[in-house]
Structure 1
Amino acid sequence: MTTTVGLLYPGHAAEDDFPRIEITLDTDIRLPLFSTEVAEDSYRRGSLLESGAPDRLAEGVEELRLAGAEALVWASPGGSFAYGWAGAHNQIATLARSAGLPASSTAFGFVHAVRELGADRVAVAAAWPEDITALFAEFLVAGGVEVVASRSAGLATAAEVAAWEPGQVKELALAADHPDAEVLLLPDAALHTAASIPELEEALGKPVLTANQVTVWEGLRLTDRRIWAPTLGTLFATRPPAPGTVEPKGIEVRE
């Protein structure tokens, strides 16, 4: 039976990661994507808030519903965590109501994925400016995740980030890592990472979570699908959780 996760992705940067992930999964998983409009390609908080406004997210809902989506994920970490923990919950509740489907965001997906790995302490390797990275760290802390180290590359736009080569991503990850971190996070959805997660994990000697990987995992979690795909990293090679320890699936509003 086919499982279809609808993705709302801001603009055009690394959305080609998702067809690659779909092929890598080599199953009956489908990942239809709708690119939402972005008025300004900028890692400023105001721009991120605007990108995650309800009318922006509503743009693609009907198209994804027609594509058979069983759940929706807002695939913009910054367009979610910029609202803060409570604000991001409200954002996703509004999306779920408008779609009549379970919904979540990549930002919440990171918190759930860290818990899935049984970890508490993380390092953050972000391409964003430092103030945006700090907002993400605050969001993680609000979700019960300890941030022991972070590094910001200071790039100003998604277009700049999307142009990075795998070697630059690896360099940032290595620079951001910390001995106390159990997991390393690469949270920018504009980074192309789908093909390099095992290499990053080998270099760091620990699990690595990347935005587009986490986006797909979070959507599958909402639909109760568990896929074994080690080529997408440790997150896709974990055992099913023990009974009674499953996290709440997310915001599910059906009207």
Structure 2
Amino acid sequence: MAQGRIVGLSTTYTGGHVPTIGFIYPDHAAEDDYPFAEGLLGDRYALPVAHIYGTDLHAVPELLDLGSERRLADGAALLAEHTPDAVVWACTSGSFVYQWDGAHEQVEKLAAAAGKPASSTSFAFVRAAEKLGLKRVAVAASYPDDVAKLFVEFLSRAGIEIVAMSSEDIDTAAEVGRLSPDAVIELAVSHDHPDADAVLIPDTAMRTLDVLNTIEERLGKPVLTANQVTIWEGLRLAGEVPESAALGALFR
């Protein structure tokens, strides 16, 4: 499987240092997944979130603007007060919309602006799939069809076979953030495929951490969600990914 190029070196922590991963999050929708994850991990890690603002429309021109070098540099500056050990652009569509080479460049510029190892949610999905040895996946996307297809193309470039793709055609992140837990579970379960090794849910605007294990139990296979893999990727960059029974197969 081709690997995403992740900028920066891992660090090993000793003594009383609290590993701190900074997340640049677009607008507001499901950012409470991050403090929720802090609690699930026993408050042994700091996961501060900085917000940048644009339109939350799931459309290519708006997403290109949202993930621009200027906006991400602003997010890195906001995170500086937390002295993060790594920084992650917590937006799937705002990274894969740049396509494979452009997403590499986006991460490189973010690392330069932050002065820290950096990555994005799109590369987090690639790395997480590699970690679990996933070859064939089903994608349950909340995006409009044209945007969802760009995610499929991104995964395909990484050597992942997509055996099924669905798009819910939800126009804005705010609408996704209002989905109920039952609706999120149904989205994942209804768009599984028998040939898929796992189901991928690619929107950081969707709250998924509190229903991850429920979905995996229903499906009997791993589930990767945007906020889950983003947090995992940040911890990986910082050199320490803890085990957690509460955050799906990726953390077990």
Per the normalisation by structure 2, the TM-score is: 0.92
Q: Is residue 2:86 matched to residue 1:64?
A: no
Q: State how far apart, in whole Å, the 2-side matches of 1:48 and 1:128 are.
A: 12
Shift of 1:166: 1.2
**Residue in 2 aligned with 1:155?**
170
**Residue of 36, 40, 53 corresponding to 1:24:** 40
Q: How does 1:46-85 map to 2 (within 5 A)?
A: 46-85=61-100
**Residue in 1 aligned with 2:234?**
219
Cα distance per residue 1:11-70 (max 9 Å; x no partner): 0000011100110110420001101111x2211011110100011001121231220200
Shift of 1:116: 0.4
Cα distance per residue 1:182-222 (max 9 Å; x no partner): 01101111111111100000011100011001110000111
Q: State how far apart, in whole Å, the 1-side matches of 2:71 and 2:78 are.
A: 13
Return the letter of the residue paired with 1:190: A
Mean Cα displacement is larger for which, 167-176 or 136-145?
167-176
Q: State how far apart, in whole Å, the 1-side matches of 2:42 and 2:89 are.
A: 23
**Residue of 142, 150, 167 corresponding to 1:135:** 150
Percent identity (aligned)? 48
Spell out structure 1 runs of 4+ moving beyond 2 A.
none
**Residue in 1 aligned with 2:160?**
145
Check conservation: 1:151, 1:175, Cα contact below 8 A: no
Return the letter of the residue paired with 1:221: R
Unmatched 5+ residue regions in structure 1?
238-255
Q: State how far apart, in whole Å, the 2-side matches of 1:175 and 1:130 are.
A: 17
Return the letter of the residue paired with 1:182: D
**Residue in 2 aligned with 1:6?**
22
**Residue in 1 aligned with 2:10?**
none
Paired positions, count? 236
Q: State how far apart, in whole Å, the 1-side matches of 2:58 and 2:143 are.
A: 7
**Residue in 2 aligned with 1:99?**
114
Check conservation: 1:123, 1:150, Cα contact below 8 A: yes
Return the letter of the residue paired with 1:11: D
Q: State how far apart, in whole Å, the 1-side matches of 2:221 and 2:84 are.
A: 33
**Residue in 2 aligned with 1:122?**
137
- Structure 1 vs Structure 2 CA RMSD: 0.8
Q: State how far apart, in whole Å, the 1-side matches of 2:103 and 2:250 are.
A: 23
**Residue of 184, 189, 192 corresponding to 2:199:** 184
Aligned to 2:24, the other structure's residue is in SS state: strand
Per the normalisation by structure 1, the TM-score is: 0.91
Return the letter of the residue paired with 1:13: A
Q: State how far apart, in whole Å, the 2-side matches of 1:10 and 1:218 are.
A: 18
Aligned to 1:63, the other structure's residue is in SS state: helix
